[in-house]
A = this chain, B = another copy of it.
Amino acid sequence: AEKAKWPKETIELWERLSKKEANDVETIEKSIVHHVTTTLARAAYNMDNFSAYQAVALSTRDRLISRWNETQGQLSKVDPKRVYYLSLEFLLGRSMDNALLNMGLKDKYGEGIKRLGFNMEDVIESEVDAALGNGGLGRLAACYMDSLATLDYPAWGYGLRYNYGIFQQRIVDGYQTEYPDYWLNFDNPWELPRLDISIQIAFGGHVQTTQDEYGVTRHTWIPGSSVQAIATENCNNIRLWRSKPTKAFDLTSFNEGNYEKSVEDATNAEKITSVLYPNDNTMAGKELRLKQQYFWTAASLHDIVRRFKKSMREWSDFPDQVAIQLNDTHPTLAIVELQRLLVDEELLSWDDAWEIVTKTFAFTNHTVLPEAMEKWSVPMFEYLLPRHLQIIFDINLFFLQKVEKKFPNDRGLLNRMSIIEEAQPQQIRMAHLAVVGSHKVNGVAALHSNLIKTTIFKDFVDYYGEDKFVNKTNGITPRRWLHQANPQLSALITEALGNDKWLKNLSLLKGLNAKAEDAAFRKKWMTIKRANKVRLAQLIKDRCDIDVSPDALFDIQVKRIHEYKRQFMNILAVIHRYRTIKSMTAAQKASVQPRVVIFGGKAAPGYYIAKLVIKLINSVAAVVNQDPAVGDLLKVVFVPDYNVSVAEIIVPASDISQHISTAGTEASGTSNMKFVLNGGLIIGTLDGANIEILEEIGEDNIFIFGCMAHEVEDLRHAQRYRGVPMDPALQGVISAIERGTFEDPKIFQPLISTLTVGKDFYLISADFASYITANQQVDAAYKNQEEWSKKSIRCTANMGKFSSDRSVKEYADEIWNIKPYPVEDEGHL
């Protein structure tokens, strides 16, 4: 704005002095040294790897920002429709390696830092993960932001900048212990200050009702307190809000005259974004969580509306300029907040406002698990957000009136579809609100998208029709999950395909199918796999002090620990394998395929049963790994503190990985995609994206077992009323545990009880026999290494569909109606 008033020579001076830095090694070195001596205030003789990381990161960041400024400048002029991706979690992991690769400057920075006395790998290893997410949902958001940027879509991610990310997991005496993850202990170089963006977020108070000059009733929210939202920006167009004390004059505190209390209040404001709730697929129900959600959605909407208003368009143009995607129900309050802004502050009529709102929002469902369904108690909600509660009641009233009109006299239907659940106290069903306020609702894999239409949203499909409910199968970014995590394989693929275009068009991997028949290529392929296994074996040695042979079959299950994901079934089968080996003669043992079973993942701190699974895995490992009768035939490893950086080591090293959720429980899974993309085979149930992976890579390259989703309800019903028919092999395993083969059996009794008293809700017994068989098939197949290598290559070759680029394109075309706007690109990719 000020620029327009400046004289020509001032503008020219700015432009001349803003020109970008050159890409030669000397310029790069100079920028690194400059940051060492100024930003870090260090002398060269006083440097360590971490300081070197900081300096390289700051230098990299400077370049990213220059590019980013340019992109934003160009986009401002075009002012296209933008998509805003609202996600309470962004599981970004490390940033530096990725940034350097994306700019095509990794080699030059590597050369520069080497000449300055450091090694690039050590420098990269010094970066702390940004772990602002629990698992798949947060990592999906990170992959989508990568694809949106790569494909030049005008997009912003909005989330929270927690001081404490997902807890650090340490294993003490076999048990998970949780430790706060204070990732901001040192300044985060990837965070850009956006001091110009600071928004007041209100809470509490009451609603004032008045008549305006035309006799129209107006509602004004008179808040009781407020906090400030400050934007910090990740270089990937992700804006994360942090809460700060408000600077406004707070009369309440003043009149009380209590200085210590007002400092305390101010300090409390920062608590809102203090900690990520460490629950995956469960609903916490805490007041602070609701505060987080409103704080975040209100700040984000304020920012979106501010950007929209710059171009002075009509409000009716809003949905042509703005698409907002709700990643799960966490940001559903954004629907209510936009309606409030339009009606109370912009003075639109309710109906005009609601039309804008429903054309703007779309909603991604991530689960059908009942314990994950967000509900908020009406009294608590009213205390925090009195005006929003009124609006929700009005939305619900007008909605149910229409339902009643379409399906008269069905009180049960109204009761089921209502946004308000008539419990004591009343509850707000956030998923219903999200469906009612959105124009599209999608699941994240074909099976899951069908399931939501027949279960949780069945009534809504009847009312709205099929078209509102669509599928967008998840994807992953090949830039991080192959190019960065598996650089040797990436190089081999580029060599085989003649160029690296596959990185932005993953279906080009199809070209590798022919290479599966090339023995020399297969050898190179498997050599790389083995190198990746050696790297993982070293990590296991460092973190667990267990020696594992890279020649064994690496069998991996890494993901959140949850009953539905059935790590319990996996460790039970491991015990079965152990018992089988123990019962063998030496001759029989000679033909056993050696296997290393590797687990990793965090359990929610309050999830007692899941934490017992971790304890059982560690207890089994302690016995098996020391048993001379078993030796290298079986090793069990629990890798502590699984996170994105650890995943980048584990994923490329798998021979087989396990994706064995009870059919119908895992919405998609994305780690299955990561493993297969890296030439790892999978063993899995017909659940989530496994089904589509099977379709793409063919049944010869995947090991499927277990019951199917449509059979689950009948099986559960039978078990509930007729008891659990315990699989004989499983019974043997349980008896072994109960005999105390692995520590005091009393420890594990509550876990065993889930199979008996708990009626084996997740169908471990029903699937056990087929699971054992599938594992035997894996062993047999692995013995034929030539055939296995073909399978491995075909896995990678046929994973084109699962690029997040494809997912994002589908969202863009079919839900958001946005187009890419490529800007002058100087980078490598």
Question: Chain A residues in contact with chain B, CB under 8 A?
Answer: 1-3, 6, 9-11, 13-15, 17-18, 29-30, 33-34, 37-38, 40-48, 50-51, 54, 61-62, 65-66, 68-69, 72-73, 115-117, 163-164, 167, 170, 172, 177-180, 182, 185-187, 192-196, 228, 230, 233, 244-245, 247, 249-250, 254-255, 257, 259-260, 262-263, 266-267, 271, 274-275, 278, 605-606
- Asked if A10 and B259 make an inter-chain contact with CB atoms under 8 angstroms apart, the answer reads no
Cβ-defined partner of A3 (8 Å) among B14, B45, B62: B45
A10–B186 touching, CB < 8 Å: no
Contact indicator A73/B43 (Cβ below 8 Å): yes
In the complex, what distance in Å separates the CA atom of A164 from the CA atom of B266? 10
CB neighbours of A185 from chain B (8 A): 228, 230, 244-245, 247
Are B38 and A62 neighbours in the complex by a CB distance under 8 Å? yes
A33 to B20, CA, bound (A): 11
Q: Which of chain B's residues has its CB closest to A73's CB?
A: B43
Q: Which residues of B contact A255 (CB under 8 A)?
A: 177
Q: Is the CB of B117 within 8 A of A605?
A: no
Pair B275/A263 contact, Cβ less than 8 Å: yes
Find chain B residues with CB under 8 A from A33 CB: 14, 17-18
Inter-chain contact B51/A195, CB cutoff 8 Å: yes
Among B17, B180, B187, B605, the residue within 8 A (CB) of A257 is B605
A257 touches B177 (CB 8 A): yes
Whether B13 pairs with A116 at a CB distance below 8 angstroms is yes
Q: Is there contact, CB below 8 Å, between B115 and A13?
A: yes
Q: Which residues of the partner chain B approach A14 to less than 8 Å between Cβ atoms?
A: 33, 44, 116-117
The distance from the CB of A566 to the nearest CB of chain B, in whole angstroms, is 24
Cα(A180)–Cα(B267), bound, Å: 10
Q: State the CA gap A186–B73 with chains docked (Å).
A: 25
Inter-chain CA distance A281–B250, complex, in Å, is 28
Q: Are B196 and A42 neighbours in the complex by a CB distance under 8 Å? A: yes
Report how far A51 CA is from B115 CA in the complex, Å: 36
Query: How distant is the Cα of A256 from the Cα of B193 in the complex, in angstroms?
Result: 38
Q: Which residues of B contact A250 (CB under 8 A)?
A: 179
Given contacts A2-B117, A13-B29, A164-B263, contact A40 B195 (CB under 8 A): yes
A177 to B253, CA, bound (A): 9
Q: Which single residue of chain B is at the shortest CB-CB distance from A7?
A: B117
User: What B residues does A61 contact at CB under 8 A?
Assistant: 38
A164 to B264, CA, bound (A): 11
In the complex, are the beta carbons of A41 and B275 less than 8 A apart? no
Q: Which B residue's beta carbon lies closest to that of A20?
A: B37
Report chain B residues within 8 Å CB of A54. 195
A195 and B50 contacting across the interface, CB-CB below 8 Å:
yes
Q: Which residues of B contact A177 (CB under 8 A)?
A: 254-255, 257
**Chain B contacts of A228 at CB under 8 A?**
185
CB-CB under 8 A from A186, the residues of chain B are 193, 195
Q: Decide: B254 and A179 in contact? CB cutoff 8 A.
A: yes
* Minimum-distance CB pairs A-B, first 6: A3-B45, A259-B605, A17-B33, A38-B62, A14-B44, A177-B254
Whether B192 lies near A262 (C-beta < 8 A) is: no
In the complex, what distance in Å separates the CA atom of A7 from the CA atom of B17?
36
CB of A618, distance to nearest CB on chain B (Å)? 16
Q: Is the CB of B6 within 8 A of A41?
A: no
Do the beta carbons of A3 and B44 come within 8 Å of each other? yes
Contacting residues, chain B, for A259 (C-beta < 8 A): 167, 178, 278, 605-606
Cα distance A61–B34 in the bound complex, in angstroms: 12
Decide: B41 and A65 in contact? CB cutoff 8 A: yes
Asked if B2 contacts A30 (CB within 8 A), the reply is: no
Nearest-neighbor residue (CB-CB) of A164 within chain B: B263
CA distance A163 to B163 in the complex (A): 16
A17 to B45, CA, bound (A): 14
Given A18-B44, A44-B3, A247-B185, the answer on whether A180 and B117 have CB atoms closer than 8 Å is no
A262 to B33, CA, bound (A): 39
Q: Does B13 lie within 8 Å of A180, measured CB to CB? A: no
Chain B residues, Cβ within 8 Å of A9: 115
How long is the Cα–Cα vector from A3 to B255 in the complex, in angstroms? 60
Shortest CB distance A336–B (Å): 28
CB pair B170 A249 closer than 8 Å: yes
Please indicate the chain B residues that have their CB under 8 angstroms from the CB of A73 in the complex. Answer: 43
In the bound complex, how far is the Cα of B254 from the Cα of A170, in angstroms? Answer: 10
Q: Identify the interface centre among A17, A18, A43: most chain B CB within 10 Å of its CB.
A: A17
Q: Which residues of B contact A13 (CB under 8 A)?
A: 29, 115-116
A271 in contact with B267 (CB, 8 Å) = yes
Assembled-state Cα–Cα distance A62/B33 (Å): 12
- Nearest B residue to A49 by beta-carbon distance? B2
Given contacts A13-B116, A45-B3, contact A245 B182 (CB under 8 A): yes
Listed A/B pairs (19) with beta-carbon separation below 8 Å: A1-B45, A2-B48, A10-B115, A11-B44, A13-B29, A13-B116, A14-B33, A17-B30, A18-B33, A38-B65, A42-B196, A43-B72, A43-B73, A46-B196, A51-B195, A164-B266, A170-B254, A172-B254, A178-B262
A233 / chain B contacts, CB cutoff of 8 Å: 41
**Docked-complex contact B117 and A10, CB < 8 angstroms:** yes
Cβ contact within 8 Å between A196 and B51? yes
Please judge, given known A-B contacts A179-B249, A180-B263, whether A193 and B38 are in contact too, CB under 8 Å.
no
Report yes or no: A244 in contact with B38, Cβ–Cβ below 8 A: no
In the docked arrangement, what's the CA distance between A263 and B288, Å? Answer: 14
Question: How far is it, in angstroms, between the C-alpha of A180 and the C-alpha of B249 when the chains are bound?
Answer: 10
Q: How far is the CA of A244 from the CA of B187 in the complex (A)?
A: 13
Assembly CA distance A271 to B266 (angstroms): 12
Indicate the member of A40, A65, A263, A606 with the most B CB atoms within 10 Å: A263
Contacts of A69 in B (CB 8 A): 37, 41-43
Q: Could you say which residues of chain B place their CB within 8 Å of the CB of A192?
A: 41
Closest beta carbon of chain B to A313's beta carbon, Å: 21
Q: Could you tell me the distance between the alpha carbons of A193 and B55 in the complex, rounded to whole angstroms?
A: 13
Contact of A38 among B44, B48, B66, B72 (CB under 8 A): B66
Chain B residues closer than 8 Å to A244, beta-carbon distance: 182, 185
A156 to B: closest C-beta gap in Å: 15
Least CB distance from A144 to B in Å reads 23
Q: Is the CB of A37 within 8 A of B65?
A: yes
Residues of B within 8 A of A187 (CB): 193, 195
CA distance A692 to B6 in the complex (A): 55
Neighbour of A68 across the interface among B41, B178, B249, CB < 8 A: B41
Measured between beta carbons, the chain B residues less than 8 angstroms from A15 are 44
Docked complex Cα distance between A605 and B253 (Å) = 13
Q: Which residues of B contact A46 (CB under 8 A)?
A: 1, 196
| Cα A434 to Cα B275 with chains together (Å) | 43
